[in-house]
């Protein structure tokens, strides 16, 4: 009978890895495949895990095996602000999936900074700033000019994903890292941001509709301008007014809508300008305007409300209708949706700019294929497909 090999790891590292993964001892034991008492014994030093058990725990906690042999637990970054609650401060309740995405985003940013430095790539600093005291409409004008997207270009984005990819490309061209995830529930998060001067980060929930993600993208862009990042759900409308978080979220929603639907262009559209005094709009008009600006119908209604061309009652009634239709459509799409190729998901989740940076570092022999696998979270057999996907989507952007 083979002798068991035990891993000599420090108990506090095992506890740190579990807690930062957002797992209780019971949940961790279930995933590792051992009794809960055994996790407690590991974390008190009463017993060491076997080498296979430690490998399994590392996989469950989403940490490299080497992390369990550090001298002491590393200092974790401060938790992000929670804008989903009226008085949220640092995020207190986050699923293991959301915690992992926060770690991934920070690590990708650190890798990007390192690779850009090694490759001698100058990274423009994010200097666009605003405050809550500014007029959101003027902030939106400045933000849209900075992004460099012309209305004519926006009006040509007819495909389901063209607008989303177009706005992402505009941000990535200015060194904003845009990542996506399909592992976090929409009921927990639609997006979050990490404001930094160099390589600021926006993460979108890939489970949302393309136009929903487009709005969240601009919402998080507004957070970057405020230099106040955190975890958000821009679709929330029930937050009590006049709370600190509500003020920030209302501002960011307003700026996002104004970036996507400039006031002059909306109000001068003949479907609006030719009808004076009208406050309730048929679905055909709202849908046509949504298609023109490549946004959701709710965004159009909200802009009409903000600009005094509809009523609060009409907006809320139609919003409830659109939300019910969206939820039905989303359920049907989940049933019909096929599986996207791994290469496309890798490029979507890591973003084109980050993926290109990793591939360039490989091409210039700054990193190894194993590094690419680690940095992109993919098996090497998909590398050629990833390269072709990046080249194709870059050409389409």
User: Per residue of the chain (397 residues), what is the pLDDT tens digit?
Assistant: 456 888 999 999 999 999 999 999 999 999 999 998 999 999 999 999 999 999 999 999 999 999 999 999 998 888 888 888 766 666 667 899 999 999 999 999 999 999 999 999 999 999 999 999 999 999 999 999 999 999 999 999 999 999 999 999 999 999 999 999 999 999 999 999 999 999 999 999 999 999 999 999 999 999 999 999 999 988 765 566 678 889 999 999 999 999 999 999 999 999 999 888 889 999 999 999 999 999 999 999 999 999 999 999 999 999 999 888 877 665 555 544 556 788 899 999 999 999 999 999 999 999 999 999 999 998 888 888 898 888 877 656 5
**Reported CATH class of domain 11-69:** mainly alpha
Among 227, 119, 126, smallest CA distance to 175 is for 126
Q: What is the pLDDT of residue 213?
A: 97
Tokens linked to 77: 């970054």
Which CA distances in Å does 193 have to 109, 176, 393?
A: 12, 10, 24
Q: What is the pLDDT of residue 4?
A: 81
Q: Is the Cα torsion angle 238, 240, 241, 244 positive or negative in sign?
A: negative
- Distance of alpha carbon 328 from alpha carbon 318, whole angstroms: 15
- Distance of alpha carbon 51 from alpha carbon 270, whole angstroms: 70
Please, which residues have CB within 8 angstroms of residue 169's CB and are 6 or more apart in sequence? 352, 397
Among 149, 223, 179, 127, smallest CA distance to 357 is for 179
Q: What is the pLDDT of residue 89?
A: 64
Span between the terminal Cα atoms of the chain, in Å: 60
Q: What is the pLDDT of residue 92?
A: 65
- Distance of alpha carbon 26 from alpha carbon 374, whole angstroms: 29
> Whose structure tokens read 């970036």?
259
SS3 342: helix
Q: Look at strands 191-194 and 201-205 and give their pairing.
A: antiparallel
What DSSP element (H or E) covers 247? helix 244-260
Q: What is the pLDDT of residue 69?
A: 93
Q: What is the pLDDT of residue 391?
A: 81
Map out the domains of the chain as residue ranges: 11-69, 96-260, 339-396
Please, which residues have CB within 8 angstroms of residue 78's CB and are 6 or more apart in sequence? 90
Q: What is the pLDDT of residue 2?
A: 57
Q: Is 312 exposed, middle or buried (0-12, 13-18, 19+ CB in 10 A)?
A: exposed
Q: What is the pLDDT of residue 1?
A: 46
Tokens linked to 108: 């990708």
Q: What is the pLDDT of residue 77?
A: 86
């Amino acid at each position: 009978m083979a002798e068991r090999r035990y891993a000599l790891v420090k108990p506090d590292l095992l506890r740190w890895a579990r807690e930062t993964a957002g797992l209780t001892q019971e949940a961790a034991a279930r995933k590792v495949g051992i009794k809960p008492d055994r996790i407690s014994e590991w974390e008190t030093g009463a017993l060491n895990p076997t080498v296979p058990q430690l490998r399994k725990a590392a996989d469950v906690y989403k940490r490299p095996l080497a992390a369990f042999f550090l001298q002491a637990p590393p200092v974790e970054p401060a938790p992000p602000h929670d804008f989903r609650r009226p008085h949220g401060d640092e995020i207190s309740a986050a699923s293991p999936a959301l915690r992992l995405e926060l770690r991934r985003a920070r690590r990708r940013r650190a890798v990007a900074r390192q690779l850009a430095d090694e490759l001698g790539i100058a990274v423009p600093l994010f200097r666009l700033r605003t405050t809550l005291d500014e007029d959101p409409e003027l902030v939106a004008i400045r933000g849209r000019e900075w992004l460099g997207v012309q209305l004519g270009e926006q009006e040509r984005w007819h495909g389901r994903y063209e607008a989303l990819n177009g706005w992402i490309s505009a941000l990535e061209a200015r060194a904003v890292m845009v990542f996506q995830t399909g592992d976090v529930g929409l009921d927990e998060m639609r997006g979050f941001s990490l404001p930094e001067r160099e390589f600021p980060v926006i993460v979108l929930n890939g489970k949302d509709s393309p136009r929903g993600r487009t709005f969240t993208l601009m919402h998080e862009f507004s957070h970057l301008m405020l230099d106040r990042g955190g975890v958000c759900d821009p679709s929330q409308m029930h937050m009590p007014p006049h709370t600190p978080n509500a003020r920030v979220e209302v501002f960011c929603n307003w700026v996002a809508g104004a970036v996507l639907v400039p006031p002059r262009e909306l109000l001068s559209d003949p479907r609006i300008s030719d009808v004076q005094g009208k406050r309730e709009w048929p679905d055909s008009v709202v849908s046509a305007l949504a298609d023109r600006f490549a946004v959701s119908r709710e965004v159009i209604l909200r802009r009409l409300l903000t600009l005094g061309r509809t009523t609060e009652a009409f907006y809320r009634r139609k919003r409830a209708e659109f939300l019910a239709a969206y939820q039905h459509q989303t359920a049907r799409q989940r049933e019909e949706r096929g599986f996207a190729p791994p290469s496309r998901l890798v490029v979507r989740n890591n973003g084109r700019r980050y993926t290109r940076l990793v591939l360039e570092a490989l091409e210039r022999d700054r990193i190894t294929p194993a590094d690419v696998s680690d940095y992109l979270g993919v098996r090497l057999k998909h590398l050629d497909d990833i390269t072709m996907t990046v080249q194709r989507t870059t050409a389409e952007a």
